[in-house]
Amino acid sequence: MHNTAIDAPHLSRRKLLKVGLLGSALLATAGLTASLSGCSASTPKAGFRVIRESDLPFLQALIPAMLDGAVVPARMAQAVSGTLESLDYSLNHLSPELRGLTVQLFDVLAMPLTRGPLTGVWGSWQKASAGEVRAFLERWQNSSIGLLQMGHASLLQLVLMSWYSRAESWAHCGYPGPPSV
């Protein structure tokens, strides 16, 4: 077994179960609140097809942590905006069901009500340190809640795939690019 759940690694099984239920309840609440309150306005930000203004604080905290080591600090801002552009393109081509799940995931991460308890990041994403972002990702990877583990896997795949599909990422991984035909 891996250490699971929210914070304390030595939670009893009973507590763990509670956390699991709480987590699922929070996820459900977030989805519901988001759709009722219109807080997750479905309008994409100008220049994007799917990504909304409300998604940006989280994504702008997440992407530098993911690309740390692959991008030099001086180029990180550019890499983040390139990754966002590619991510938006991918999201716009996913099936409606998968895009919906991803947007819901972004809602859960954006709304203070769910963000704190589920991610351990209690302040805003703008103020989160790289260490806090890494801790959140580790916590989801080792969570007992399947949905959070799935969320962790999706975030990794979406961001890494978006970055490494871009030509400016290829020097780092020694890929000369496709040959000419």
Where on the chain is the footprint of other proteins (CB under 8 A)? 1-2, 65-70, 86, 89-90, 92-98, 134, 137, 141, 146, 149-150, 152-154, 156-157, 159-166, 169-170, 172-175, 178-179, 181
Least separation in angstroms between residue 65's CB and other proteins is: 6
What are the φ/ψ torsions at residue 68 (nearest 5 degrees)? -55, 130
Least separation in angstroms between residue 37's CB and other proteins is: 22
Least separation in angstroms between residue 77's CB and other proteins is: 17
Nearer to other proteins, 54 or 86 (CB): 86
Nearer to other proteins, 47 or 96 (CB): 96
Nearer to other proteins, 45 or 99 (CB): 99
CB 111 within 8 A of CB 95: no
Q: DSSP 3-state assignment of 11? A: coil
CB 16 within 8 A of CB 136: no
In the block, which residue shows the tokens 């806090």?
A: 132
Least separation in angstroms between residue 13's CB and other proteins is: 18
Nearer to other proteins, 113 or 142 (CB): 142
Own/partner contacts of 97-104, CB < 8 Å, gap of 24 or more, are 99/50, 101/154, 102/154, 102/158, 103/40, 103/42, 103/50, 104/30, 104/31, 104/34
